[in-house]
Amino acid sequence: MTVLNILTFPDPRLRKVAAPVIKFDKSLKKLTEDMLETMYQGNGIGLAATQVNVHKRVIVIDVSDDRTDPKIFINPEFEIKDNKSLFSFSEGCLSIPGYNEEITRPDKILLKWQDVNGKFHEEEPEGILTVCIQHEIDHLEGKLMVDYISSLKRERIRSKLRK
Ligand code: GNR
Ligand code: NI
């Protein structure tokens, strides 16, 4: 397994929209293994392929306390089950190191995805997984946590992180 380089805001490559996975082959499995390694190494609870400059609809997540429950979601999509049920959480992002922002998102979603073999699944996620899934799917759309905050705050973070 290989630890991959993580792109940092405001890198324009974080704004690319990822393409659906159509080939469920060995190179997809290798990508997910390298992404898990990269996520664990960075002490993250999730990682989107976009963050490692691979513009495919692949995310990995582990929200377990002991970091022993890797989850892989290919071509993930969600629908909001209840527009009025919202949840606020202080989010971090491996692509925006050193910053946390309180973000409010829908709390009741139905997630649909494929596994590394191409098999379809659906489930209503619980707890922090609900937040993390939405954060990661945002990455696949080229969207970042800082897009939810004021432009003043965003520009301040941009100038601090730009070397
Ligand atoms: O490690 C991470 N923590 C986190 C905390 C709250 C909500 C979302 C996240 S995801 C983040 C890792 C990351 O940047 N994934 O894209
Ligand atoms: Ni992130």
Residue 112 tokens read as: 């649909």
* Ligand 1 center–CA 39 separation, angstroms: 10
In angstroms, the first-to-last Cα distance of the chain is: 30
In angstroms, how far is CA 53 from the centroid of its own chain? 13
* Ligand 1 center–CA 163 separation, angstroms: 23
Q: Where is 76: in which H helix or E strand?
A: strand 71-80
Pairing of strands 109-114, 71-80: antiparallel
pLDDT in tens, 107-155: 999 999 999 999 999 999 999 999 999 999 999 999 999 999 999 999 9
* Ligand 2 center–CA 120 separation, angstroms: 25
Atom of ligand 1 nearest to the CA of 51: 16
**What would be the CATH architecture of the domain defined by 12-162?**
Alpha-Beta Complex (3.90)
Residues in contact with ligand 1 (CB, 6 Å cut-off): 44-48, 51, 89, 91-95, 131-132, 135-136, 139
pLDDT in tens, 4-49: 999 999 999 999 999 999 999 999 999 999 999 999 999 999 999 9
Residue 86 tokens read as: 């919202």
Name the amino acid, one letter, at 18.
A
Is the overall model pTM greater than 0.95, yes or no?
Answer: yes
